[in-house]
Amino acid sequence: MTPVSVSSDPSERLRFQVGGMTCAGCAASIQQAVESLPGVASAAVSVTDGTAVVTGRDLTAATIAAEIATRGFTARPLEADRDAVEIRSAIERQQTTNERRWRRRTIVGFAIWLPLLALHWLSPDPAPAWIAWTMCLGATASLIFVGGGFYRSAFAAARRGTTNMDTLIAIGATTAWAFSALLFGSHVLDLDLTSLLGDEWGVLPSYFSEAAALLAIISLGHWLEARASARAGSAVRELLELQPDEARCIDDRGRLRTIPSAEVRPGDRVMIGPGDRVAVDGVVVDGVSDVDESVVTGESLPVPKSSGAPIVAGSLNTTGRLVIEATVDGRHTTLTRIAALVQDAQSSKAAIQRLADRVCAIFVPAVLLVAAVTFVGWLIAGDPVRGTISTVTVLIISCPCALGLATPMAVMVGTGAASRRGILVKSAAALERAGSAERIVFDKTGTLTSGAPVLAETTLAPDARIDATRMLQLAASVEAVSEHPIGRAIVIAANDAELTLRPVSEFRALPGEGVRGRVDQQLVEILRDERASCRVDIDGVTAGTFTISDAVRPDAAAAITKLKEQGLRVTMLSGDRREAAAAVGRQLGLGPEEIIAEATPESKRDHIAEPGFVTLMVGDGINDAAALAQADVGIAMASGTNIAIESADIVIPGQHVTAVPFTVDLARRTLRTIRQNLFFAFIYNGAMIPAAAFGLLGLHGPMLAAAAMGASDITVIGNALRLKRTLARRPAFETGPPAANPG
């Protein structure tokens, strides 16, 4: 396995921890500002993990941070020479802080709003003074303690000359509170505002509870989003933790000394004992062993290693003792390179933006314009009271509650239907993107195949003096003492054939070669080669060979057929040999143009990054982590490594490849429901905003506006429940015919 190479591109890359972002508009504003700086080639800003990755030449961190600050955000450089685990921890601390902040605001918001709601509906008319005071003070507290985040976001957007969804929330809540405060103050001070507000001023209702309601409900949405973001990035840290913290180096006098892995330098000699993980990339200079490189390659079989063979950090030494010479320093290993690829992919901008975010850029300014025109129009007409009420009604009725529910309600139903079938969908964005997918890429080993070696074929030598059954019995008897995966495959085959294993004496493991032992007075040697086959010698004479392969999952061919029927382009990626990958592809009905073999983690990532397509990636190994994160949607098999599962957006049952086409169908139906919900939400606004602007809702317009918001919510929820009933009738995993025989 060739280690992941460091790019020769001379461009620099700087990473920043950015504070103050609340929506996709914030990220777009930062990206636009940074990319306008000299020397900057590109900027990727992620709201999810609160980072910005800037690529270019002659970059200055201070200049970039200052430019971000001019947009109203904070930016702290993450030093390139810091330990990657420390960088990840800093990002996660910021995410956790953000989650706790919105949770606190949500709790406070509901603690204030619910009592106000009860007082509003249960109090007599006119309400006693203490109730009026309680409503006023409660709403004021809500604006101060809950609305702070919305106000800061709205003010920051205003300073940038833009608007966002927080702008509507801030103006709507403030206007409702200010008008209610005016009415409350006039009654407390016993002022006659007839000349200012007209004859109706004395019967005008209070809108304190509406102001508190807006802030509480929207805070809940922010909290749920923050929770998802805070739990999205642990894959990088878990990946980095696979590299040992310490390395045992051999000095010039042959003495062992233990030092931190980060302090290993090129040329240092490091000893790797049986069962140890490799601390740094290097080349074997002494010893012979089998090394499990699945941490990087994802392949199931250990690889023989001897002098001159390359070895990568994080690999597991299984049998013999090795001495390696480091080729890189301990901070820049293959493992940390893969981690950087995962981090970059997670921080990059998704190909498809959320539908609601795209339309809100036009929706919010339009609503503000309508509200302003409404007030001015009524003011010219000589009715400032109706103008004020109509303006408040427009702002409240236009607050994006239904718009905010359109996506999460459909996603809640979709993810619930998935979870009942063992499918874990980690984010709404993943489900949205999966519904638009045009291409799907599978990793081979552990995804389309079982990931465990099996005995595929037994071949006797032309002059063999025993039959195949006896050769299997003798070989399995010796391999039963071994712990090698190929040995286990031979033993399992013997057990399936109901063969009785014989006692073994003089057993010896041959690191990097195989095993030997004496059975029934015969010397049996099982010698392995790099092509996953074994030669069996009995008393020094070759008796035959065993061919070991990776079994195709029973439902894999049916799953690929279904995906093609759904209109998806299917590709299989593998780090395995071209011949082995082609053999599996034939069993799955894949042509040569649909198979990419001998792929490294970096080349997998680059293939996934092919522009012009919305891509799903299905994998199960650590070597897939960067590709899973780079894909528009990463799908991991639940039987895979924790790294792959954490890097993925969707996790499906490990033994059910047919769960993949079901997930695609579920995502498409969910996305269709999201679009329908958004359509309903905008039709609602299209009908209700004119009614509010023309005063058709009367003096109780804000109250009716709140009720209309509830009605729009019910419409959205009802449509989502319809999706639930539809999905409940669909089977998740369809069994298909077994895969075709190779050949």
Which residues are the active-site residues?
443
Phi and psi for 128 in degrees, rounded to 5? Answer: -60, 160
Which distant-in-sequence residues (6+ apart) come within 8 Å of 67 by Cβ?
Answer: 33, 34, 36, 37
Task: Report yes or no: 631 and 611 within 8 Å, Cβ to Cβ.
Answer: no
Closest CA to 554 of 736, 741, 422: 736
- Per the listing, tokens 């990473």 go with 15
Phi and psi for 76 in degrees, rounded to 5? Answer: -120, 120
| DSSP three-state, residue 480 | coil
Three-state secondary structure along 677-703? HHHHHHHHHHHHHHHHHCCCCCCCHHH
- C-alpha 679/C-alpha 715 separation (Å) is 11
Q: Number of helices and strands (H, E) in the chain?
A: 24, 26
Q: In the 8-state DSSP scheme, what is residue 89?
A: H
Closest CA to 223 of 337, 308, 106, 320: 106
- DSSP H or E run through 296: helix 294-297
Task: Return the exposure string of 312-336: e unless at least 16 CB atoms fall within 10 Å of the residue's CB, then b.
Answer: bbbbbbbbbebbbbbbbbbbbbbbb
- C-alpha 438/C-alpha 613 separation (Å) is 6
* Residues belonging to the chain: 743
- C-alpha 620/C-alpha 447 separation (Å) is 6
Closest CA to 151 of 67, 218, 84, 226: 218
* Cβ neighbours, 10 Å, residue 134: 17
- DSSP H or E run through 18: strand 12-19
| DSSP three-state, residue 123 | coil
HSE (side-chain half, CA atoms, 13 Å) at 55: 11
Closest CA to 218 of 164, 140, 178: 164
Task: Report yes or no: 204 and 183 within 8 Å, Cβ to Cβ.
Answer: yes
